[in-house]
Chain A
Amino acid sequence: GAGVSQSPSNKVTEKGKDVELRCDPISGHTALYWYRQSLGQGLEFLIYFQGNSAPDKSGLPSDRFSAERTGGSVSTLTIQRTQQEDSAVYLCASSFQPSYEQYFGPGTRLTVT
């Protein structure tokens, strides 16, 4: 079946602009996760959704970052007033339930100029 999809695959934006990144999880998966990966670095956890609620926002690096999930499906990660240090690959993952294995999307490469 279809895996996790993310859009756009690449995004170049100017410093100070807002960006929205989208994630479509695997159908039927209740849990959704956002991570980011800076060049040559490991994955950094950002936020986790169970259904539409986000019980764990501990990884969001600043209040410029927010995320929502509607209908228990699609999620949007929004970064306001982007900074150059926000440049990274943003990865989304979903799992059938929170304790199950996570399946990752291909990521969105964000470049802030």
Chain B
Amino acid sequence: DAKTTQPPSMDCAEGRAANLPCNHSTISGNEYVYWYRQIHSQGPQYIIHGLKNNETNEMASLIITEDRKSSTLILPHATLRDTAVYYCIPRGNNNDMRFGAGTRLTVKP
């Protein structure tokens, strides 16, 4: 499985867009990029996933570079409730989700 690099922490002002980067330069052709988040003391929450094309849902947008070596999760209007650890997870045919250290996002008023 591809290794990922995410900044350990980021801050964002409430109401502003939060842009969370992930480097996955060793990603293979059949691996999707999944994003999850974990709010303190809760189970991980699925956000979005994609293969090549940019994706958008009610929670976030996912921008994947053309070479697929990196991606960015965008929370368009961050709220205090978006404070969490965000995980970028390349996933191919393996059964489990392999969570790394993630990025701790703190949304500040």
Contact = CB atoms under 8 A, between A and B. Distances in A.
Interface residues of A, number: 22
Contacts of B93: 99
A103 B46 contact: yes
Nearest to B85: A42
What bracket does the count of chain B residues touching chain A fall in?
10 to 19
A83 interface: no
A103 B46 CA distance: 6
Contacts of B96: 33, 35, 45, 48, 56, 59
Nearest to A35: B96
A4 B46 CA distance: 13
Given A56-B95, A59-B96, A42 B101 contact: yes
B77 interface: no
B95 to A, nearest CB: 4
Secondary structure at chain A's binding surface: helix, strand, loop or mixed? strand
A101 B46 contact: yes
Contacts of A103: 46
B43 A107 contact: yes
B42 A106 contact: yes
A65 B98 CA distance: 20
Interface string B78-109: 00000000000000010111111110000000
Contacts of B102: 42
Contact of B43 (A45, A48, A104): A104
Given A42-B100, A101-B34, A101-B49, A48 B44 contact: no
Interface in A46-83: 48, 55-56, 59
A45 B49 contact: no
Q: Which 7 residue pairs spanning A and B have beta carbons closest together?
A: A104-B43, A45-B96, A48-B95, A43-B99, A101-B46, A42-B99, A104-B44
15 contacts: A42-B99, A42-B100, A42-B101, A45-B95, A45-B96, A45-B98, A55-B95, A56-B95, A93-B44, A93-B97, A101-B34, A102-B97, A104-B43, A104-B45, A107-B42
